[in-house]
């Protein structure tokens, strides 16, 4: 199979280049890149790519798959199809399945089922192993067995309450050299809150979550890292003060990486006035100052990566009072177009800055490498049309769930193809 992409905008944060060129892909490898390519076989498929963007394949740090246990929300097949449709060539699933991913048998089950049907390219599946059995936060998993089974890293994907056990985790997991990720939140401070503390929460009458519920947990984690030295990844950063704490820790040389989610970069508490349950997230959407700090953190590298944190739920689960609904929203098919329109088209981010936070930086957090878009390299690429208009509806979504505030609306920007 030979394909020529003519006059495509090549955005490659690995090499730091943003240029318009012709790109020839033959049998899954990049054969040539030049301003004007004329030397190609007669059977080459030629695509006019003026206005299109070709970048490194996107990498999602963490998301939720319904399978096993919640296939009515999302099967592994629909999860991978949604990821491919959203431009992702690598995706990482969290261990909160049923049964949870806390033993090698569940890892093997997911690995066996991780190929796509229907002829679409298949993103590579990376699996987060649990830290504790049944995600109960009380008894550690057999970490050596899970590491040998091929998990990408370890996380429970939920807040920790026992700092003594957290210390043991950092000491015990250190020799295995796998990423260890934590979601920072003090549940006693969070209480029954569902919305970021502030004027909007008072106005809407929703139970508030103070920013210190996140920042005190980050501060405690950073103290443990400073003492023990185990590298950690901080998930779901959502407050301005958290960005400050992480920046200070990085300046001091602590071995940490951090990520926020795509919706926390786009929306703030003012959006919640609709009471749309797809805006009930954990952590909750921040105040405008939080959003500004998170965007600055991503641009400046304090926040290493943008995660999707795709969390599918059925219609019945989400159609209830805001505070009673489960927290989470889908996003694999929406993250790139909405981030591009709201950050790149507005001039706040460069294309390289956004693409870096969605591709090679998440790969780095997973201790993986991302190759430059160069001759003789295997094609792991995403072709994106930033101007295509489409409607977010059941006919256009591969995800089985539709819990998103953009459902029924038109979105600008759509992935054309991925090479995995």
Is 309 a catalytic site residue?
Answer: yes
Local structure of 3: helix, strand or coil = strand
| Per-residue pLDDT tens digits for 101-128 | 999 999 999 999 986 544 567 899 999 9
Show Cβ contacts of residue 167 under 8 Å, excluding neighbours closer than 6 positions. Answer: 224, 228
Give the single-character DSSP code of 97: S
Separation of alpha carbons 3 and 47, rounded Å: 7
Please check the confidence at residue 392 and state whether its pLDDT lies above 90.
Answer: yes
For residue 30, list its beta bridge partners. 25
- Maximum separation of any 2 CA atoms in the chain, in Å: 67
Q: Tell me the mean pLDDT in the region 31-44.
A: 91
Residue 166 pLDDT grade (very low, low, confident, very high; cuts 50, 70, 90): very high
Domains of the chain: 57-371 (3.20.20.140)
Q: Tell me the mean pLDDT in the region 78-90.
A: 97
Residue 248 pLDDT grade (very low, low, confident, very high; cuts 50, 70, 90): very high
Residue 371 pLDDT grade (very low, low, confident, very high; cuts 50, 70, 90): very high
- The pLDDT of residue 9 is 98
Please check the confidence at residue 373 and state whether its pLDDT lies above 70.
Answer: yes
Residue 275 vs residues 23, 205, 324, 332, 391: alpha-carbon distances, Å: 46, 11, 12, 22, 22
Could you report how far apart the first and last alpha carbons of the chain are, in Å? 14
Q: Tell me the mean pLDDT in the region 390-413.
A: 98
Nearest Cα to Cα of residue 289 among 303, 270, 272, 307: 270
Local structure of 292: helix, strand or coil = helix
Please check the confidence at residue 65 and state whether its pLDDT lies above 70.
Answer: yes
Of residues 39 and 113, more confidently modeled = 113
Nearest Cα to Cα of residue 285 among 236, 246, 242: 236
Q: Give me the catalytic one of 22, 60, 77, 309.
A: 309
Residue 40 pLDDT grade (very low, low, confident, very high; cuts 50, 70, 90): confident
Residue 400 pLDDT grade (very low, low, confident, very high; cuts 50, 70, 90): very high
User: 120 is written with which tokens?
Assistant: 């679409």
Nearest Cα to Cα of residue 79 among 112, 115, 54: 115
Q: Indicate the average pLDDT of the chain.
A: 96
- The pLDDT of residue 39 is 81
- The pLDDT of residue 161 is 86
**For the range 119-123, what are the long-range contacts, defined as Cβ-Cβ under 8 Å and sequence gap of 24 or more?**
120/81, 120/84, 120/85, 121/84, 121/89, 121/417, 121/418, 121/419, 121/420, 122/80, 122/84, 122/420, 123/57, 123/80, 123/83, 123/84, 123/88, 123/89, 123/90, 123/91, 123/418, 123/420
% pLDDT > 90, the chain: 96
Sign of the Cα torsion 258, 264, 269, 270 reads: positive
Nearest Cα to Cα of residue 384 among 405, 347, 349, 355: 355
Residue with tokens 């507005």: 346
Nearest Cα to Cα of residue 23 among 13, 10, 42, 14: 10
| Per-residue pLDDT tens digits for 167-203 | 999 999 999 999 999 999 999 999 999 999 999 999 9
Worst-scoring range by mean pLDDT, 49-53, 69-73, 111-115, 298-302?
A: 111-115
User: 124 is written with which tokens?
Assistant: 């590579």
Please check the confidence at residue 415 and state whether its pLDDT lies above 90.
Answer: yes
- The pLDDT of residue 92 is 98
Angle at 265 between CA 56 and CA 293, to 5 degrees: 115
């Amino acid at each position: 199979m030979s394909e020529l992409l003519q006059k495509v905008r090549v955005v490659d944060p690995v090499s730091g280049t943003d240029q318009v060129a012709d790109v020839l892909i033959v049998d899954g490898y990049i054969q040539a890149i030049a301003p004007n390519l004329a030397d190609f076989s007669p059977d080459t498929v030629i695509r006019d790519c003026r206005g299109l963007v070709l970048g490194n394949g996107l990498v999602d740090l963490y998301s939720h798959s319904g399978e096993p246990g919640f296939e009515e929300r999302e099967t592994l097949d629909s999860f991978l199809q949604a990821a491919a449709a959203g431009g992702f060539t690598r995706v990482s699933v969290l261990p909160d399945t049923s049964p949870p991913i806390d033993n090698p048998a569940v890892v093997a089950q997911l690995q066996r089922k991780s190929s796509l049907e229907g002829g679409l390219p298949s993103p590579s599946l990376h699996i987060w192993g649990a830290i504790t059995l049944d995600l109960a936060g009380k008894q550690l998993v057999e970490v050596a067995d899970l590491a040998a089974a091929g998990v990408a890293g370890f996380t429970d994907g939920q807040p920790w309450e026992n700092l003594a056990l957290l210390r043991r985790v950092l000491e015990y997991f250190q020799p295995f050299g796998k990423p260890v990720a934590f979601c920072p939140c003090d549940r006693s401070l969070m209480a029954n809150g569902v919305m970021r503390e502030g004027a909007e929460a008072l106005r809407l009458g929703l139970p508030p979550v103070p920013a210190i519920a996140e920042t005190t947990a980050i501060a405690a984690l950073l103290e443990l890292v400073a003492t023990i030295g185990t590298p950690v990844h901080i998930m779901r950063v959502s407050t301005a003060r958290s960005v400050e704490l992480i920046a200070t820790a990085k300046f001091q040389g602590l071995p940490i990486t951090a990520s926020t989610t795509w919706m926390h970069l786009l929306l703030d508490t003012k959006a919640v006035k609709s009471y749309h349950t797809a805006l009930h997230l954990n952590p909750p959407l921040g105040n405008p100052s939080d959003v500004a700090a998170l965007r600055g953190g991503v641009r400046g590298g304090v926040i290493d990566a943008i995660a999707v944190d795709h969390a599918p739920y059925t219609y019945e689960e989400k159609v209830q009072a805001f505070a009673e609904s489960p927290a989470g929203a889908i996003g694999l098919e929406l993250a790139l177009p909405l981030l591009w329109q709201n950050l790149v088209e507005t001039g706040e981010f460069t294309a390289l800055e956004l693409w870096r936070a969605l591709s090679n930086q998440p790969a780095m957090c997973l201790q993986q490498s991302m190759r430059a878009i160069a001759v003789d390299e295997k094609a792991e690429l995403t072709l994106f049309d930033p101007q295509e208009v489409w409607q977010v509806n059941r006919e256009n979504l591969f995800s089985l769930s539709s819990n998103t505030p953009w459902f029924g609306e038109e979105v600008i920007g759509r992935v054309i193809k991925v090479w995995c």
